[in-house]
Structure 1
Amino acid sequence: MSGGFIVEASDDDEESIPVQNIPTSNNTSVKDAASAPGPDGLSPLPPGVAAFDPVTLFEARVKEDPRGDMDAWLNLMAEHRGRSRLDELRKVYHRFLEVFPQSSDIWVQWIELELGLDNFVDAEQLFGRCLMTVPNIKLWTVYLNYIRRRNDLTNDSSGQARRTVTQSYEFVINNIGVDRDSGDVWLDYVQFIKNGPGQIGGTGWQDQQKMDQLRKVYHRAINVPMSTVNTLWKEYDQFEMGLNKVTGRKFIQERSPGYMSAKSGNIALDNITRSLHRVNLPRLPPAPGFDGDTEYRGQVELWMKWIDWEKDDPLVLKEEDPKAYTQRVMYCYKQALMALRFWPEMWVDAAEWCFQNDIRESELEMGTQFLVQGIAANPQSVLLALKYADRIESTYPGKEGDRSEYAQAVRKPYDAILDTLYGMGDKVKERERLEVSTLKQAAAQDPEMQQSIEDKDNDNGKSKLSAGEERIKAIQHAYAAESQLLSRTISYIWIALARAMRRIQGKGNQTEGGLRKVFTDARHKGRLTSDVYVAVALLESVVYKDPVGAKIFERGARLFPNDEEFMIEYLKFLHSKDDTTNARVVFETCVNRLISKPETLAKARPLYAYFHKYESQYGELSQISKLEERMAELFPEDPSLKYFAERFSSDRFDPVHTPIIVSKAVQMRPKKDMPTIDEPSSFEDNSGPMRQEHSPRPQFTRATASPKRPFGIDDDEQNPPKRVARGVSPLKGAAGRRLDQQRRNQTSALHRDITFLLGILPPAHTYDSQRLMAPNLVSLLRDTPLPDYMSWKALTGGQYRHHSQMQMHTRQASGDLARPMSPYGQGQASSSGYRNSPLAGGYQAPGSNWGSVQGNYPPGQYGGQR
């Protein structure tokens, strides 16, 4: 074909696709501009270098944290791009895409760089490396634009260019046509067919071929839930009805269910993905409890909702078109893994679904491919390594053949994760050494810090640490916790490997393999916790009844003398062998060693708890009492009842909190269904119904449960009145009066809408603004002195003192209700505003006809009659 190519192989492996497997315009081999590796080693930055050479700073940051420091990668690319260092930029692109092979934005930048320089051969090779592993709309659109650029349709006399572009469109649609953002690609494809040779509605073979091709594309497009599905359906409707109304109605009626499913699916996906960020520059997941953790896990939940929606098959494809159903679920998993590349659970979930449905592509088991790619992205993931090893062990084809080859195949994932974790442990030690040495050098150069180191004693004679030493101690403590976590993880991987090798090769020996070979290798590599010794000892004792198990426990007791968890397991082992004498010796030796130092006293608590439980079940009362006295002396903060209750408690019984019901009427009274503002008062405290005071405010009547309904509109056909069954007649006599009295004394339930409002309001403790102190406000109003009227009149002359600087904010009353001469107004008649209005006309207010009032009050005030 004339310039352009189509990727025909379907390979989801993240490795580069060989050039010879891709049809291109010519088979000329090209240099790989990005094959040069990045700098292998960087010397420590001299002072001030970073300020003058940002590239060196970014390179150092990338080397230190290649998967976490995304900003350093992007800034490094921007620096090379801004300085037009294209060769260096290509090297950075290559190194970046080795770490993030599915970052479509970077692939697009690199390809557009080559296309801008007319390096078409290099661009084709980049397309071959990324297209099949990066299902991204933008990347595939760039590929389509490149194909159309290389195939000129205006001078296509033979039709070869149009056939090439058509094949490219089909290739793109088959791979990313199910994407909910692929609407523009579908519309572009439809327009491309319309612009082709032939006339819609014509009778020639070329016209018929064009209509068939267009109808086929419409049928596929209107079944995809995407934003342009309504537009495509309208175009399809016009297309069919424009050809023949009779057959058009038939086609539209047949395709209408698929369109309605796609339309409803698009609405559902809009709701699911409204807050979803479909990024392709993956970030490492924040640790639980740290910045960004909630947002990251929220994105994971949204992706899982989308995947679950596809699995539930709302488009009804599983039975009618299982291939399309599988393609949609797989595509959704691949989209999720582009954003959640460093989330191992997503890789495992995708692999598990493929295993359950036996998904294969190009004779490759896609579940295994997901696990392999997930391990490449997360080499430190224990979950992925264990899942992959379990898959190999359960499906290895040559189980009955050479057991050594079988064992080597199973052991390979374990060795890979162990090598990664041991390397991480070495880096932790190196970082700790560098930070501590840097602080010590800074302390040696600081005279004040040096003086504080020399003067360590305070007035009481107790030693104290300087600020530098405190910081060094904190750093060492943090790195110790990190190293302990790595050691525990490494230990449990060795345990899993030992159990797997025992299943395959049995007990074995120290040279030929099996359980004992793994234990020997683990001790040789180091960084083990006591868990390895416990697991191997129990395997030797329980499975093979070998006395070597006891020797392993004895060896572990010498290596981990202050490990309370190991000692408890050792005691359990001795008790299982009925060796109570040695168990008591081990217990006394260990607790005496732990309680001798204040820093290890807390470790003795679980040992005492275990031995107290054992003595409570199988020992004598005198021994139990002595043990409780020792525990009370060592741990006085524990409640005295706790030790006594522990004698009789179990996982299913607690003598302290066992609820024995004496009176169901009192102890098991059901709670109210409807919440009320005030709790109902007791029946005994109510002497009778409260008399409601007269108030000018409107009275809110209590809602009744009467079945009667208000009169409705007789001709309301859409909302006819409903027939409500009549309620039960009230009881008569004393029983009826008593129930009515209780019902009147109870506080009425809130309205349904008010109950809903109270339910959605946040709790009171979440209000963090200034609170209104109601008691203080009432006290202020109560204690503020107010003069009586006579004093006020004698002081002010019965009029307000108006201040020009102060504006009076009073409510303007209506003319028929206001008091014109009220001391609380502004001293003007209420109708003055109307008199001054241009609408007043010649209206004259009638003269007042108020009678005189005792007390010399002005008319209209304080009880004056109108």
Structure 2
Amino acid sequence: MEAQQRTETNVEQPMTENEDRTVSEATQDHVVKKAAFQTPKSVEAEQKIHADPWDTDAWVTLFMEAQNQPIELARPVYQLFLSQFPTAGRYWKLYIEHEWRQGSEQAVEDAFQKALLICHHIDLWKTYTDYIKSKKTRAEATEAYEFALKHLGLDIQANNLWADYIEFLKEWEPRNVQEENAKRDQLRSAYQRAVQTPMYNLDNFWKEYENFENSLNKTLAKGLLAEYQSLYSAARAEFRARRNRREGLLLNVLACPPSPKAEEQVRLWRKYIDGEKSNPHKLEAEELHKRVVAAYEQAILCLYRYPDLWLEIYFYHVQRKDWESAKEYLYRGIQACPDRPILYLCLADVEESLKNFSMVESLYEELLKLSPSCLVYIEYMYFLRRTRGIEASRKLFMRARKEISDYHLYVAAAELEYYRNKNLDAALNIFELGLKCFPQVLDFALEYISFLWMLGDETNLQALLERLLLDYPAEESAVIWDKYCQFAQQFFGLEKRREIEMRRMEALGGGERFLLESALSYYSFRDLTSWTSSDMMYVGDVWTNNRSSQPFIESKPKTSSNTSKRSRTVVDKKTEATNAPLSSSGSLLESLQTLMNMFPCTSDVAIPDVNYVLNLILCTPESLNVQDQKSRGEKRKNMSSSDGNKVPGTSLLPSQRWNGEGKVEDEEGREESASAYNESADSQRLPSRDIFRIRQAQRQAKSSS
């Protein structure tokens, strides 16, 4: 069949005509023309579609209303629907069947030619083989079946297609021995391919194949069946695994642009495709490739409007160095997502690698008509510099200046002049031109500053900073002042640096806090600092917040920041825990629970002093002083339970330890008695009658024992 041959040719070769690569105007603009017929449901559906061009329920309602109309009235609705949802195989089938019933063979063949290229849907392709079988010769029908099985034979739902093909071969009535042998060979080939295809009703195909071989020659059948038994068993296992991976997938949903509603389906498709790629059945490379491509084609039916899916398919073929297939999928992706520049840019790279420079220029020009963005001009400018030289890229820059207003264009052009053309003067001229065009765009000013900084052009950089400080009001110049201070730190001496810092402080304020931050920044390098997080406890969050908002201060390692945050968190929790019993001041149990939560149950943390515990339980003012001492980070050493010599009710300073003989020994080995230490420690605490009485009672109990 001529239509079938045209279809197969187009499938094997990438589309190159502009009209094949772009979506129809109605689809691009989401314009729904008024239908030639009107019913209450169709009118309501049209109104909903005007409000939301991706209202799938309204589209389906309109389509089904067209099913009840004459084909002349229904055809425009069908075409509009299928331009919006070109991978809707079920609806292609309904449309074609409507044309078929009306005897419009040319319309049917034209529809097949459009649909089969982009819609690998079993029902649609089965309708295609049914049509060819009913209208064309047996040879053409055989070609149609083979064509369909080539593209969809690996689908687990292809069992009906295989069954129809085998039944079609069985119905052939040979007229001579040669045709009889041909029929036998074709049936054997069909059965042998079917029984090793993972699909539904695989067991039935195996039984039919056994009967087929045994009916011809039981001796020969024994060897053939033994050979294909293992392939059949592997196909059964693969079918079960593939069916499980496809569980939850909705195969007949209409393909819409990405939305949160479809996240679950996207996840399931990703799971299914990744499962195919993992090659759990240890297939040969070529067989694995066929299954991965088939999985991608099935995903396209539902995720047709997802540009990242097309990009993944493209890079999958790039990895295999299959440039023609990669290019074909990019063209199809552009047809599906014509407003996504990244697809055009990838395609331009492919065409450039194939030396199709004129095609690349056509792609860029087409993209600029659809999306005249700064990024497209920049990529186009780089391409022209690579392939046609300096003048071509400069001409495009001058053209782009007239069509768009974006400072990125000037930055890109200046860097192209400096890095590629080795022309510093041209780069500086472009930056100056950009400064005139964007006098109040701070980001461009910062780009210019960074460029001069990279050059180490001290004179021009200082002049630029002074100019910018005059151009920007004080409330917007903080970032520029910060850059100026950082510049002074690296390029000037101490006196000049302090002069600029004072000027900034006069312009923006900040006082001693700014000078402190400036000093901390100055006395550091990369991740090397002259201070630690614990040194910044007084400045605290104010210093952290100010640092994050000031680019002239070098960022410090994440670990240091995290440590500081963790330290503050611990202090805050302890402070909160300490204040809780004071505010409630009534419940002894609450105070004890607070104490238990305050001290972690680890072996390396010393037991709190008994006096501090008693003060806290009794909620006396003295506990505040003791807690303040504890929160300053005093730690005790050599307090592990393995010592076994700790005297209850005593506290050691950080520089002291027990020597095992009942005496306290400092770091230099000097000894002092425990009683002297207790007296010294007691003398440091504020007097309290309650605590004094308790302590006296404890000492009396000890002496009596």
Quickly name the TM-score band, shorter chain normalised: 0.5 to 0.7
Counterpart for residue 369 of structure 2 = 419
From 149, 155, 166, the counterpart of 1:179:
155
Pairing partner for 1:146 from 112, 123, 131: 131
Q: Which residue of 2 aligns with 1:610?
A: 483
Q: Which amino acid aligns with 1:336?
A: A
Aligned to 1:336: 299
Q: 1:550 to 1:639 in 2, by over 3 A?
A: closer
Q: Distance in 1 between matches of 2:525 and 2:249?
A: 47
Distance 1:572 1:684 in 2: 51
Q: Structure 1 pair 7/646, CA: closer, same or farther in 2 (3 Å)?
A: same
Give the CA deviation at 1:563.
1.9
Match of 2:330 in 1: 371
1:306-705 superposed matches below 5 A: 306=275, 308-309=277-278, 312=279, 314=281, 316-318=283-285, 322=286, 325-357=288-320, 359=322, 365-396=324-355, 406=357, 408-422=358-372, 490-508=373-391, 514-526=392-404, 528-542=405-419, 543-591=421-469, 593-597=471-475, 601=476, 604-625=477-498, 634=508, 643-647=518-522, 653=528, 656=532, 681-682=602-603
* Distance in structure 1 (CA, Å) of the matches to 2:15 and 2:345: 23
How far the C-alpha of 1:373 sits from its partner, in A, is: 2.3
CA distances 1:126-161 after superposition (whole Å, capped 9, x unpaired): 22332344221000122233345558xxxxxxxx65
Find the residue that maps to 1:544 and give its secondary structure: coil
1:508-559, Cα deviation, whole Å (9 max, x unpaired)? 1xxxxx1210111101112x21111111122223423242322221121122
Distance 1:295 1:140 in 2: 28
Indicate whether 1:74 and 2:60 are aligned: yes
Which deviations, in whole Å up to 9, do the C-alpha atoms of 1:667-725 show, x marking residues without a partner?
9xxxxxxxxxx986538889xxxxxxxxxxxxxxxxxxxxxxxxxxxxxxxxxxxxxxx
| Counterpart code for 1:537 | A
| Residues 534 and 569, structure 1, Cα contact 8 Å, conserved in 2 | yes
Q: Decide whether the 8 Å contact of 1:4 with 1:146 is kept in 2.
A: no
Q: Distance in 1 between matches of 2:269 and 2:500?
A: 51
C-alpha distance in 1, partners of 2:499/2:207?
Answer: 89
Q: Deviation at 1:294?
A: 3.5
Task: Specify the alignment match of 1:230 in structure 2.
Answer: 203
1:329 CA drift (Å): 3.5
C-alpha spacing 1:44/1:595, structure 2 compared with 1 (3 Å): farther
Once residues 240 and 447 of structure 2 are traced to their aligned partners in structure 1, the CA distance between those partners, rounded to angstroms, is 57
In structure 2, runs of 5+ residues without a counterpart are 18-23, 533-555, 561-566, 568-598, 608-640, 644-705
CA spacing shift, 1:343–1:654, aligned 2, 3 Å: farther
Structure 2 residue identity aligned to 1:374: G
Instruction: State the shift of 1:106 in Å.
Output: 2.5
Distance in 2, Cα, partners of 1:174 & 1:340 = 22
CA gap of 1:231–1:612, structure 2 versus 1, over 3 A, is farther
Q: 1:500 to 1:685 in 2, by over 3 A?
A: closer
Preserved CA contact (<8 Å) 2:14 2:325: no
**Displacement after TM superposition at 1:497 (Å):** 1.4
State how far apart, in whole Å, the 2-side matches of 1:64 and 1:14 are. 36
Partner Cα separation in structure 2 for residue 123 and residue 585 of structure 1: 73
Contact 1:222 1:259 in 2 (8 A): yes
Cα pair distance change 1:135/1:682, threshold 3 Å: same
Higher relative contact order (CA 8 A, sep 6+): 2
Matched, 1:127 2:48: no
Give the alignment's TM-score, normalised by structure 1.
0.54
Displacement of 1:164 in angstroms is 5.6
1:654-673 CA deviation, whole Å, 9 max, x = no partner? 6646679xxxxxx9xxxxxx
In the aligned structure 2, how far is the partner of 1:188 from the partner of 1:418? 49
> Match for residue 743 of structure 1?
none
Q: SS of 1:278's equivalent?
A: coil
* Alpha carbons of structure 1 residues 497 and 648: separation in structure 2 relative to 1, 3 Å: farther
| Superposition pairs of residues 252-263 of structure 1, within 5 angstroms | 252-263=225-236
Indicate the residue corresponding to 2:165 in structure 1: 189
Q: Is the Cα–Cα contact under 8 Å of residues 4 and 150 in structure 1 kept in the other structure?
A: no
How many percent of aligned residue pairs carry the same amino acid? Answer: 25
Q: Which amino acid in 2 is paired with 1:139?
A: L
Structure 1 CA distance for aligned equivalents of residues 25 and 440 of structure 2: 52
Contact 2:195 2:202 in 1 (8 A): yes
Match of 1:225, SS state, is coil
Q: Is the 8 A contact 1:42 1:60 kept in 2?
A: no
Seen in structure 2, the aligned counterparts of structure 1 residues 146 and 492 have a Cα distance that, compared at 3 Å, is closer
- How far is 1:61 from its partner? 6.8
Contact 1:385 1:414 in 2 (8 A): yes
Greater gyration radius: 1
Query: What is the aligned partner in structure 1 of residue 271 from structure 2?
Result: 302
Identify the residue that residue 773 of structure 1 maps to in structure 2.
none
Deviations 1:567-592 (A, max 9, x none): 12212233344443332232234245
Contact kept, 8 Å, 1:277 with 1:299, in 2: the verdict is: no
Aligned ranges 1:699-848 → 2 under 5 Å: none
Q: Which amino acid aligns with 2:201?
A: T
- Partner of residue 217 from structure 1, selected from 183, 190, 198: 190
Structure 2 vs 1, CA of residues 340 and 608 (structure 1 numbering), >3 Å: closer, same or farther? farther
Match of 2:92 in 1: 107
Alignment CA distance shift 1:165-1:409 (3 Å): closer
Superposed displacement of residue 90, structure 1: 0.5
Alignment partner, residue 117 of structure 1: 102
Asked if the contact 2:273–2:292 (Cα under 8 Å) also holds between the matched residues in 1, the reply is no
Distance in 2, Cα, partners of 1:622 & 1:556:
34
Amino acid at match of 1:535: A
* 1:275 alignment partner in structure 2: 248
Count of aligned residue pairs for this structure pair: 536
8 A contact 2:66–2:78 mirrored in 1: no
Q: CA deviation at 1:182?
A: 0.4
- Pair 1:91-2:54 in alignment: no
2:86 counterpart SS class: coil
Partner of 1:379, secondary structure, is coil
**1:76-112 CA deviation, whole Å, 9 max, x = no partner?**
3344445x25323201222333444333222112111
Counterpart of 1:11 in 2: which secondary structure? helix
The equivalent residue for 2:627 is none
Q: Which amino acid aligns with 1:74?
A: V
Q: CA RMSD in A?
A: 4.5
8 Å CA contact retained: 2:313, 2:329: yes
Aligned residue type for 1:507: I
After TM superposition, give the deviation of residue 193 of structure 1 in Å. Answer: 4.3
Q: What is the alpha-carbon distance in structure 1 between the residues aligned to residue 27 and residue 406 of structure 2?
A: 38
AA aligned opposite 2:368: L
